[in-house]
């Protein structure tokens, strides 16, 4: 049976851990508010960009662009977004599982990882990690998305990549985040709207012409899509960390209550034993 000193030491240790998890919970909650606002504010811009690109594509005929080309025989490239740090529940592992499910042929797949968790997982298992981005998962910037997009475009234009997919975690609410896969390249038919009937759009005047405007918008559209995913992933990471730390703090409180009860039982047993010994000794002296 553990001594009173051992139990006191364990209670002190659990209380110290509880203070740490509670502090991390408050930090994640504070950062989540900012990350959520950034993701929500960016969504109308990303949606409008997709609409404009679709509208311009409808007014372009016989248009050729490197990002619309298909390069048969090339590899599959997967962009995976995870966290740099742990203590975020199943956030990173769920995104990694989604990315692994997209790997058809391990030898014919390259990966670009965002976050240490994805880099460590795939590097340690023999996957071809061609690029890695560390330190951007919690607070992504537009320049980070631009760097990633330029890297992808350069690899795609070289002909070594046939198709590009992006795996990120979509933020739904503070308690609900879902890993998703989006095809980035080739863009395919931008003029069709999947799942919806064609809507009447406003007429635009293009200067100098629609084809040149579309050629400029396609890379920008890719950057915007990646940046929106980075913001969604950041909010998802912080919400997962907030929930994980909140649960850890509650579990620590329950454990402390059980240890206090155990401590009192052991202490009471010791007092009862001492009383019994005293009474037994007194009876022996009679």
pLDDT in tens, 113-133: 999 999 999 999 999 999 999
* Long-range contacts, stretch 21-28, CB < 8 angstroms, 24+ apart: 21/245, 21/248, 21/249, 21/252, 22/245, 22/249, 24/87, 24/241, 24/245, 25/242, 25/245, 25/246, 25/249, 28/238, 28/239, 28/241, 28/242, 28/245
- The pLDDT of 80-96, averaged and rounded, is 93
In the predicted model, is pLDDT for residue 262 greater than 80? yes
In the predicted model, is pLDDT for residue 285 greater than 80? no
Give the mean pLDDT of the chain: 87
- Percent of the chain beyond pLDDT 70? 91
Full-model pTM: 0.84
Q: Provide the total of helices (H) and of strands (E) in the chain, helices listed first.
A: 5, 5
pLDDT of the residue at 204: 67
Distance CA 115, CA 122 (A): 11
Binning pLDDT at 50, 70 and 90, where does residue 209 land?
A: confident
More confident: 187 or 226? 226
**63: Cβ–Cβ under 8 A, 6 or more apart, which residues?**
57, 211, 214, 215
Do 70 and 162 contact (CB within 8 A), yes or no? yes
- At 11, give phi and psi (nearest 5°): -60, -45
More confident: 185 or 169? 169
Binning pLDDT at 50, 70 and 90, where does residue 73 land?
A: confident
In the predicted model, is pLDDT for residue 30 greater than 60? yes
pLDDT of the residue at 244: 94
In the predicted model, is pLDDT for residue 197 greater than 50? no
């Amino acid at each position: 049976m553990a001594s009173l000193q051992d139990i006191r030491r364990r209670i002190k240790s659990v209380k110290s851990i509880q203070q740490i998890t509670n502090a991390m919970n408050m930090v994640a909650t504070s950062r989540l508010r900012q990350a959520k606002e950034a993701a929500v504010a960016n969504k109308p811009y990303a949606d409008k960009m997709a609409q404009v690109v679709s509208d311009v594509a409808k007014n372009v005929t016989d248009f050729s662009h490197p990002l619309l080309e298909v390069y048969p025989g090339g590899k599959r490239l997967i962009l995976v977004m995870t966290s740099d740090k742990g203590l975020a529940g199943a956030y990173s592992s769920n995104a990694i599982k989604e990315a692994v499910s997209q790997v058809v042929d391990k030898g014919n797949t390259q990966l670009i990882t965002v976050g240490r968790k994805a880099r460590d997982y795939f590097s340690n298992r023999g996957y071809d990690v061609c690029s890695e981005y560390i330190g951007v998962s919690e607070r992504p910037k537009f320049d980070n998305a631009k760097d990633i997009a330029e890297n992808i475009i350069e690899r795609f234009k070289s002909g070594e990549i046939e198709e590009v997919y992006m795996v990120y975690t979509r933020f739904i609410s503070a308690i609900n985040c879902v890993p998703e896969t989006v095809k980035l390249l080739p863009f395919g038919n931008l003029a069709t709207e999947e799942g919806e009937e064609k809507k009447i759009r406003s007429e635009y005047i293009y200067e100098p012409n629609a084809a040149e405007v579309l050629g400029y918008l396609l890379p920008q559209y890719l950057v915007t899509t990646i940046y929106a995913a980075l913001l969604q992933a950041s909010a998802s990471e912080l919400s997962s960390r907030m929930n994980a730390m909140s649960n850890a703090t509650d579990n620590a409180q329950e454990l402390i209550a059980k240890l206090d009860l155990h401590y009192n039982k052991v202490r009471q047993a010791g007092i009862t034993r001492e009383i019994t010994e005293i009474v037994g000794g007194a009876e022996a002296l009679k």
